[in-house]
A and B are shown apart, each in its own frame.
Chain A
Amino acid sequence: ELQLVESGGGLVQPGRSLRLSCAASGFTFDDYAMHWVRQVPGKGLEWVSGINWNSGNIDYADSVKGRFTISRDNAKNSLYLQMNSLRPEDTAFYYCAKDNTVAGTRGAMDVWGQGTTVTVSS
């Protein structure tokens, strides 16, 4: 079964850091690009960051550029999101998602984790 499981969310003060992890199973992890997508409760989906299969192509939403860093460890079938200088507006549910194109640069997101909650508040 294809599965993504996020962890690492929690309550953090503004300006502090948090690292999210996403453990993948059931597919060849290093064949696919991966993404982080977030959602404020009751609001829409916002793409946060994406990384291709070999970490050679990475991009971020303007809202997190310079503060968040996406990375992956293909040996551990894991995706990460290092979030620094957190702001209250980063409060959201964070999902990791898998691209549906093998070694491609353009893919829809066909597998999603259950998400992890990040709350930034003093």
Chain B
Amino acid sequence: AIRITQSPSSLSASTGDRVTITCRASQGISSYLAWYQQKPGKAPKLLIYATSTLQSGVPSRFSGSGSGTDFTLTISCLQSEDFATYYCQQYYNYPRTFGQGTKVEIK
């Protein structure tokens, strides 16, 4: 199975900050990487797929980049509603695998 290493596991930031989360795959996954946001008590929400394609309705302050094994989610100007846990996931092959998650907390 492809292992996904996500970092950091948590971070503290202030509204307006630029935030970066990274994921590294144990083998090349081309561009088959997605990012999800999950708030407490809610189902995950797809933010970005195919590494950098923004899901419909997702604000443009979210962006994704990378290819092969190294990927990044950037939130350019953190808003109050962005405090949540973020997961990356590869869908290059089965079994699908998720990163361990990054909890973005208020500083």
Which A residues lie at the B interface, using CB under 8 A? 35, 37, 44-47, 50, 59-62, 95, 100, 106-110, 112-115
Contacts and interface: CB of A to CB of B under 8 A. Distances in A.
Nearest to A110: B46
Contact of B95 (A44, A61, A108): A61
B101 A44 contact: yes
Interface residues of B, number: 24
B83 interface: no
A95 to B, nearest CB: 6
28 contacts: A37-B44, A44-B87, A44-B101, A45-B44, A45-B89, A45-B98, A47-B89, A47-B97, A50-B96, A59-B94, A59-B95, A62-B1, A95-B43, A100-B46, A106-B32, A106-B91, A107-B49, A108-B34, A108-B46, A108-B89, A108-B91, A109-B44, A109-B46, A109-B89, A112-B43, A112-B45, A113-B43, A114-B43
Interface in B30-58: 32, 34, 36, 38, 43-46, 49-50, 55
A45 B101 contact: yes
Contacts of B97: 47
Among A61, A106, A110, A113, chain B packs the most CB atoms within 10 A around the CB of: A106
Contact of A35 (B32, B36, B96): B96
Contacts of B89: 45, 47, 108-109
Nearest to A99: B91
A113 B92 CA distance: 23
B74 interface: no
Interface in B11-29: none
